Structure 1
Amino acid sequence: MMEDREQHLESGSIHMIGQHIFHSFEPDPAIPGERSTFRFTFQDVPSADPGFPQEEADQIKAALSRLTYCRLTDPVRNRAMFRMLAEARTEIENQSVGSYSKVLSLFAQLIIELVRGIQTEHQTPPAAYTMPRKDKYDQWSRLIDAFFANCQKELTLEMLAETLNLSTKQTHRLLKKHFNTSFKHKLMHTRVEVAKDLLRTSKLSIERIAGEVGYSSTQYFCHLFQQKTGMTPSEYRYMELGEHTASIGN
């Protein structure tokens, strides 16, 4: 029940109800089912991220501010959003490295899909949109990612500074301010992520993988890997291969 009208909840549908709209739910005993509610609020805050396009934030805010009620029934889009919610819930319940960032990313994707669903299914004309132009922040991001992609080599802060055409102090401040990391932690994170990929997708020995990501000492590599992931490389490989085998069996 919403205001003075009744709305049937079809299986797999998503119903969006705006603020200050009185509503209540009455389950039908003849049709058992499961209902999940997702409630969110938004407010204006000054963005500290120079790479975030304010135009997108304004358009999303406008679409949600005008909302009173709408029903989304596209099965493909809805299933994708249900998967996002399930994945976010799993990350919250089983916290691991990167869970916070992943949950933020999932909710951002979810909100975007909701707004696109409103525009598509209810024929709301989207506002004129132009992809934001790349700024200095984006250029630095690409250069930094490309630099650390060579993590098997002996990389130094001085080498990165030369790549960015900055001083070492400027490079250090850039990593801290825009990437919330240091050179040492960025290099270690990249090496561990590459190692995880090799453990999942190759039969290389732990010693060989340590060398492939730039560590001459296998013992030191294993120490850093466990420090970062909570597991030894062997435990990580066993877990990943075990889950992959189970998914094939199912």
Structure 2
Amino acid sequence: MYNQSTINCQSDYFSLVEKQPDLKSKPLNALVDIRSDYTDTLFSFRHPVTVTAKDGLSIIGLTNSLSHPSHIQTYLLEGSIEIPPSVYFNVISLNKNSRIYLESQDNDEPKLLAAPQRITVALPSPSIVINNIFTLNHQAKSSPYEETGTDHPYYELILVEQGELTLTIDGNSLTISRHECAVIFPNQYLHKQIKNDSITSYISIIFDAIGIPKKVKQNVFSLKNQLSYVFNQLIHLSNNEVELFSMDRLYHLVYAILIHIAAGPLKTDNKPRLSMRENYENEVFQSMVNYIEENIDKPVQISDLAEHFSLSRSSIQKYFKKYTNETPKEYINTIKLQHSKELIRNSQMSLSEISKAVGYGSSQYFSRVFSEKYGMSPSNYAKSVIK
């Protein structure tokens, strides 16, 4: 990957002359066509030389050592730079054809020297590539539940939102709990089962990809700390009709999960990047979201959050506005109503039982809030879905 463009960088290898040079004043005999996307040679001038971008996109490679390949620095050439005589350089084209101005002093002719390594436009490709996402399914099942085994030729990503799901993969058993996930590889025999006496809601995504490492097989991965936000977004995408950019969002979410479980947490140099306050606020908000989801069957209010987390009402309102753009009450209702829709679609519970399961005091109040959110009553929604 290249460094930032020459107009955005400070370097010992060059100095910026102009960000937007007057190209009309440049001599025509200094105009050079750059057609190759690689080079094995470097230029050396006896005097400082000016290099200016004109057409297309060019990459300039520079070094002050002919014996150390790692010393070659590459930049996207923009504006106009001056290169001292102690620096060796050459320019290659990032697209099929580009042009630069190369201005030397006193008709100084360059020496051509062998580069310590080839300078090329080749960039590393992503390790994991998602080719297609075929299905996104969010469902809730009550125990005892058992699903006939399958062995489809694609990957399946399974994420548990609530409860506990037991997977038997090629005879080996895994148990996935809340905010955990597993990846089933192509042609693995999968059997799903809910054993505990509770309702389990989970997300299943069937997709085709390349580059997923084998170490991901037969493992359970936690998303609680860094990627728990994906659950609400995936549920939203599964419950709504296809909208503009919804598939883009889905690919982004699945890719983020795969990178997280394949590569692990991003390694850093332990230097703080976010402020301590930002990290603290993020952790506090995620803890409040976890509390709401763990107490989905209770009438959670802002006063409960204030007491449980020892926060003021204004602080709680600030957190929810910052991270969800909703008030605490609106967000709590969103979570409860999303869960109620899953229960309506995938369970045999009555509307009164569902109302209690998501923490509403009465079925009438539940119906009113549901209607305000979705523009139809829970009973009409139940009639509109196929169980």
Q: TM-score, normalised by structure 1?
A: 0.48
Higher share in strand? 2
Based on CA coordinates, which of the two structures has the bigger radius of gyration?
2
- Flag the structure with more relative contact order, 1 or 2, with Cα contacts below 8 A and sequence separation at least 6: 1
